[in-house]
Amino acid sequence: MSNEALENLLHEDRAFPPSVEFAAQANATAALYDEAKDDRLAFWDKQAGNLTWDTPWTTTLDWSNAPFARWFDGGKLNVSVNCVDRHVSAGHGDQIAYYFEGEPGDTQTITYSDLLAQVSQAANALESLGVKEGDRVAIYLPMIPEAAVAMLACARIGAVHSVVFGGFSAEALRSRIEDAEAKLVITADGGNRKGKPMALKPAVDEAVAASPSVENVLVVRRTGQDVEWTTKDVWWHELVGSQPTTHEPKAFDAEHPLFILYTSGTTGKPKGILHTTGGYLTQAAYTHRNVFDLKPDTDVYWCTADIGWVTGHSYVVYGPLANRATSLMYEGTPDSPHNGRWWELVQKYGVTILYTAPTAIRTFMKWGDDIPNSYDLTSLRLLGSVGEPINPEAWMWYRSVIGGDRCPIVDTWWQTETGAIMISPLPGVTATKPGSAMIPIPGISMAVLDDEEREVGNGGGGYLVLTEPWPSMLRGIWGDNDRYVETYWSRFAGKYFAGDGSKLDEDGAIWLLGRVDDVMNVSGHRISTTEVESALVSHPAVAEAAVVGANDEMTGQGIVAFVILRSDAEVGDDIVMVLRNHVAQEIGPIAKPRQILVVPELPKTRSGKIMRRLLRDVAENRVMGDVTTLADPTVMNLIGQGLSSANANED
Ligand code: WTA
């Protein structure tokens, strides 16, 4: 049996320091680390000072009621003023806040003055519908400018938004409306997805029919498709469009709730993660400025996340707008109408900063270099990654094919719960290693612990914990404080348990190893699914891999891998054997998969996370569980067919 909480198996020796030119112009210098270390709270005071406050705060951090934090207590501010009004007042009204590109190719250019007028109209409209400070508003929209406007309008009047991803089902929407007792739902007739209008309104009708708390539904006309109309429904263009374009904002307490965002736990119903005002905006803006090196006057920034996820909240709406960024917002999918759509957009808008997810990067890898190579991507100067561990292979591809070997890559680790980036390189400072999120950003403290709550030290693996409260931390789970304490603060006393496995390499750089429930236990060795996946993807024939631990009489768990081959790969009949040996060679015989299934697709949620639970069902020959949250529920049939024709490939 191993003593380590997690085996430390893969080694990576490549390192990429920032270029001299990048470092010379970077917003963040190494001094930030020293400043934060010298006096952490003074450091956060200074970051909060970049926002515009109506009333200054009196206490930086009140942790007396831990784990319920209060940051910048006594202070008052308005988030929408910080994101919009103050830039207009400072003379930047003509600057573009969002370039919008619809999937069908329709475009909008929204300046900060336009945004102020739209947010003011929407705020007036919400008030006319009786929405008041503290009321909850569910937002169920496609990726269109009205989504950002709706969020900002809620913030402006002190209403609490709960954005529900437009790909979720009526039942998912209903349960979130019910949990938050939302008074208003903001939706659209539909959105455009993969070349077709995708209806949203029927799901809302179904959800609202079963939700007594909802008084009205505000409906944006996006696709023009036919919709059923109920007595609660109001058209956005009629109500919002007829409102005055000015609205007098009010300042709210720093700890006033800003939003709830539901995220899935390991068991039970989704958790409504609660974020508040001053601390959240402080850290969203601070990280956006320093991790993405944003230059408001020259950059064109594109975060590809949907507003239904926390990345869309912090890095499509709040962080970028607080910093007066010019952003690109795109409605559709990367393969519509062709697989080069993203690169076409980078070229068209001269995107300088791109922030996306490893699953997208691996998809582009699979499609081949020719597609990005046929566009001019030289405007790019910085690349970011978020959402899951990025395999070194995908990192290197991102760096060379998309970034032209010129752009620093920031691999940013954080969670819905953390509200903003926690672990990431600083692009002008850190020498990055492909696949590592490197070290906590200045102001953040973490540790890697073993089962006995001891720090593992360099070279060791274990559980990632955050050891000090941070401004954008969740303030609780909506309506369930006990679950908040139980889920995050009881595994290790007084420390935030992130639920992720991680290791520290010899230099102290952090490698994220996936959720701890994705950790396999093979013959007493804990092995991360991520490391086996990375080993598989490092083989030239493999585009993507998902690994699960399946019950095994002999070894506790056996490793079962599902792989997608690259379309241009030249493989023989013995590919399974070749890959098993490849993993054995990369990591060691202990990690050799018991079984490898070559499949055409992997089951993913709409946010791109692989649904390992379903793969475990397949690997353990069980009846498949709930597939309704899959982006494409038919994927499991394809995998099932692959399985029946595959033979178990044990030695
Ligand atoms: C994973 C998304 C490795 C991790 C912002 C975390 C990552 C979960 C990274 C949170 C990264 C996010 N490297 N893993 N750079 N970023 N994760 O709440 O397991 O959707 O706990 O927030 O994604 O997912 P969530």
**What residues does ligand 1 touch, defined as CB less than 6 Å away?**
263, 309-311, 385-389, 411-416, 437, 498-500, 512, 515
Q: Is 250 helix (H, G, I), strand (E, B) or coil?
A: coil
Q: How confident is the model at residue 213 (pLDDT cuts 50, 70, 90)?
A: very high
Query: Strand 107-111 and strand 136-140: pairing?
Result: unpaired
CA of 205 to the centre of ligand 1 (A): 33
| CA–CA separation, 197 and 193 (whole Å) | 6
Please name the residue whose Cα sits nearest to atom 10 of ligand 1: 415
Return the best residue to mutate from 163, 415, 436, 511 for the ligand 1 pocket (most ligand atoms within 8 A of CB). Answer: 415
Please name the residue whose Cα sits nearest to atom 5 of ligand 1: 415
- The reported pTM is 0.87
- What's the pLDDT score for residue 649? 40
| CA–CA separation, 559 and 523 (whole Å) | 11
Q: Where are the beta strands (DSSP E) in 183-299?
A: 184-188, 190-193, 196-199, 216-220, 233-235, 252-253, 257-263, 271-276
Q: Are 603 and 544 in contact (CB under 8 A)?
A: no
Sequence letter at residue 387: G
Please name the residue whose Cα sits nearest to atom 8 of ligand 1: 415
| CA–CA separation, 116 and 618 (whole Å) | 51
The closest of 294, 327, 266 to 421, measured between CA atoms, is 294
Q: How confident is the model at residue 585 (pLDDT cuts 50, 70, 90)?
A: confident
Report the pLDDT averaged over residues 312-334. Answer: 97
Please name the residue whose Cα sits nearest to atom 15 of ligand 1: 413
Q: Is 525 helix (H, G, I), strand (E, B) or coil?
A: strand
Please name the residue whose Cα sits nearest to atom 3 of ligand 1: 389
Q: At what angle do helices 278-291 and 40-48 cross, to 10 degrees?
A: 90
pLDDT digits (tens, 9 = 90+) for 621-634: 876 666 666 777 77
> Which domains does the chain possess?
14-78+277-518 (3.40.50.12780), 107-250 (3.40.50.980), 523-650 (3.30.300.30)
CA of 544 to the centre of ligand 1 (A): 18
Higher pLDDT, 197 or 589: 197
pLDDT digits (tens, 9 = 90+) for 487-546: 899 999 999 999 899 999 999 999 998 777 666 777 767 677 888 898 899 999 999 999
CA of 446 to the centre of ligand 1 (A): 15
| CA–CA separation, 306 and 357 (whole Å) | 11
